[in-house]
């Protein structure tokens, strides 16, 4: 396993699968990207809050007893702890995922509906520093969300699409922006890649 960062440890504490201890190797990359500007990030918005039904792989069992079960908003809590001055927003299509906590606010949003996306920006603001798409993971939805949302966000946003499989298709669809594909080894999962878009 690669060198674990402070962000990896925070992610593991809350039980988000963004860290290599559970599944993906995103947190070392995120740490490298943001470690020198943690205090400058003021707004984070993540699409996809998650619920137990789709996050059973996060659970751990020892001695035939369930010791950890996915908790709602794990990655939102991770972002809150990592960015000390940031307001964290989450959005999801499922009403049962919504919650509020210290510096965390969540909204109902269908990433396939333009009016929902526009309302989300009205609620959270256009001045987002980091946007993370961890929603449906379907490439048509990822493309539609990015093409609809990016023009509504201020310049300077770092827009990251997680769990991408069809990276060339996504990159072509977003060719008006600076796009980078980040892959991770070992390639345990077909969709273990990020598409990083800068506006």
- Any idea what the Cα angle at residue 53 is, between residues 66 and 20, rounded to 5°? 65
137 is catalytic: yes
Number of H helices, E strands in the chain: 6, 10
For residue 196, list its beta bridge partners: 160, 180
Q: Are strands 178-183 and 193-198 parallel, antiparallel or unpaired?
A: antiparallel
CA distance 132 to 195: 10
Among candidate residues 24, 57, 137, 141, the one labeled active-site is 137
175 contacts: CB under 8 Å, gap ≥ 6: none
Residue reference for tokens 């990359």: 29
Give the pair of three-digit tokens for residue 71.
Answer: 């908790």
- The count of residues in the chain is 199
Q: Are strands 130-133 and 87-92 parallel, antiparallel or unpaired?
A: unpaired
Residues 161, 182 contacting (CB under 8 angstroms): no
Other CB atoms within a 10 A radius of the CB of residue 100 amount to: 10
Catalytic residues: 137
């Amino acid at each position: 396993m690669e060198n674990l960062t402070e962000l990896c440890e925070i992610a593991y504490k809350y039980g988000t699968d963004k860290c290599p201890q559970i599944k993906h190797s995103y947190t070392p990359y995120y740490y490298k990207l943001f470690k020198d500007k943690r205090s400058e990030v003021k707004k984070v918005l993540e699409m996809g809050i998650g619920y137990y039904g789709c996050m059973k792989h996060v659970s751990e069992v020892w001695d035939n007893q369930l010791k950890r079960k996915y908790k709602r908003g794990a990655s939102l809590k991770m972002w809150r702890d990592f960015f000390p001055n940031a307001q964290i927003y989450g959005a999801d299509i499922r009403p049962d995922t919504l919650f509020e906590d210290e510096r965390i606010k969540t909204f109902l949003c269908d990433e396939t509906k333009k009016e929902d996306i526009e309302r989300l920006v009205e609620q959270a603001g256009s001045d987002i520093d980091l946007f993370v798409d961890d929603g449906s993971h379907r490439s048509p939805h990822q493309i539609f969300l990015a093409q609809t949302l990016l023009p509504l966000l201020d310049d300077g946003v770092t827009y990251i699409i997680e769990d991408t499989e069809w990276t060339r298709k996504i990159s072509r669809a977003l060719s008006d922006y600076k796009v980078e594909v980040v892959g991770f080894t070992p390639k345990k999962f077909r969709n273990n890649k990020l598409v990083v878009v800068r506006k």
